[in-house]
A and B are shown apart, each in its own frame.
Chain A
């Protein structure tokens, strides 16, 4: 590249040198030095000018960089650099596809009817094994249920309270301030009831798993028979989306398992979608408000940026366009 520029520069000098010499005879000896350079400039052919052209250089560079980037995107590693993996790809679990969630977009709220159905699925199916410790009954009010509905649901469950006047603990019906009842009294009981596997708490499960809602949905709907050669221990189930492939939880969602009050057909994928929406809400109950605040913040701060730029230019204009003039003093006797 350097020699190419030099050649072009020398060529230009060689062309302009004679006229320069004519114009300014005094400078003639200096011009000779440049003419000497010009003698080393090679003659150009069409091929050479094509090879030397800037466009060729840029496009070849872009093509190379693009090919490498594309390969890396496709195969996940740089080309021609071999990698050694200690683990097999199946240990990571199958990568879940991206599903078009109703709350996926930057401006989209949760589908609250879906949250309501999802709560039903959780209550009738998941709650048999999974706790939801961080959600209180009152959290459902104004999200998926009315106050009266939630009160009625809470009162069906007995909570221990106390101590009373006699210093004894007693049972009372649930209140809005109570949290969702756990299915097991403690972790040991949960493990004992599930062949040693602890069903995780679902309050923050969408945030806690790589892939988020996509992963949970894929897991719930992804139960298949183990492929040939894969051995799954007794009591375990095969799920390609679960890291390692063998999961303690069996497939729980089957068509028609629950009956939705709004008449939505309870297919497996419908129930999975609803319960994942519900779990996503329980992990991010602030999502609706957060996205609304996001709209406001983006609008306000872009407006502030634009106006600030205008005001900066406005304030700097007299400084940048200032004309400095020397006005010599008339009184020379000073």
Chain B
């Protein structure tokens, strides 16, 4: 109860803070969600994508 009250007073009480929280949260969520999905996708398709096999074909001169 104390935690929820604190959260309410911090984020929800003033509408400006509420809206600002939503937009910054959307920004952070967008990045985090992208990263999470990409991580999962790369793990699911381990060894199949180009970035997994690229090392075999890059010439030593490039490195």
Contact = CB atoms under 8 A, between A and B. Distances in A.
Direct contact of A and B (CB under 8 A): yes
Interface stretch (A108-116, A176-184, A241-249): A108-116
B33 A112 contact: no
A292 B38 contact: yes
A295 B37 CA distance: 8
B48 A148 contact: no
Nearest to B38: A292
B24 interface: no
A144 B53 CA distance: 9
Contacts of B57: 116, 145-146, 149
B13 interface: no
A146 B59 contact: yes
A109 B59 contact: no
Interface in B26-63: 33-34, 37-38, 40-41, 44-45, 48-50, 52-54, 56-59, 62
Contact of B59 (A111, A144, A148): A148
15 contacts: A109-B48, A109-B49, A110-B48, A112-B49, A112-B53, A116-B57, A146-B58, A291-B41, A292-B37, A292-B38, A292-B41, A295-B41, A296-B34, A299-B33, A299-B37
Given A145-B57, A146-B57, A102 B48 contact: yes
Contacts of A110: 48-49
Interface residues of A, number: 24
A79 B48 CA distance: 46
Contacts of A17: none
- Most A Cβ at <10 Å: residue of B40, B52, B57: B57
Interface in A66-110: 102, 107-110
B62 A148 contact: yes
Contacts of A292: 37-38, 41
A113 to B, nearest CB: 5
Contacts of B40: 295
A61 to B, nearest CB: 43
A142 interface: yes
A107 B44 contact: yes
B50 A144 contact: yes
